Amino acid sequence: MAFFGMGIRSGLYIFIMRQFFRNMPKELEEAALIDGCGNFKTFTHVMLPNVKPAIVTVLVFSVVWYWNDFYQSSMFLMDKQTLSVSLTMLNGLLDITANSAGNITSQDLMLLRDGVLECGCILVMLPLLVMYIILQKQFTESIERTGIVG
């Protein structure tokens, strides 16, 4: 679904790409047409290389939203589990373990439970942070050029 832009978020992706193409100078397209490029060659050789930051922004938004999506991943992937579903199941498993522990105090179990869940949250967020650090330049450039404020 993410690859084909289906879903409620595709409107934002279309808006980002539209704004980016609207802000591109018309002279680039005219110069390519004068040089003998057709419409398709103008799009692939002139426009697409200049729109890489917008594509990166749409990619980052899409990956983050689908990475954090709980509902669709738990509905479509019944046999396999994503990290967010596994983290929720880990929370329930730790609650069951805390209730059935024998000689360990409940305060120690709560500290252990919180530490394990915090570590799990960091591990779930780590790939997104690495992706953002790598793509930060293109992401900020695209947000700046499209005029999205918030």
Per DSSP, the residues of 78-111 read: SSS--HHHHHHHHHHHHHHHHHH-SSS-HHHHHH
Distances from the Cα of 110 to the Cα of 19, 29, 107, angstroms: 49, 62, 5
**pLDDT confidence band for 40 (50 / 70 / 90):** very high
Dump pLDDT digits (tens) for 70-126. Answer: 777 667 777 777 777 777 777 777 666 655 655 666 666 667 777 888 888 888 889
Percent of the residues in the chain that have a pLDDT greater than 70, as a whole number: 77
User: How many other β-carbons are positioned within 10 Å of the β-carbon of residue 146?
Assistant: 20
pTM, full prediction: 0.66
User: Rounded mean pLDDT of the chain?
Assistant: 78
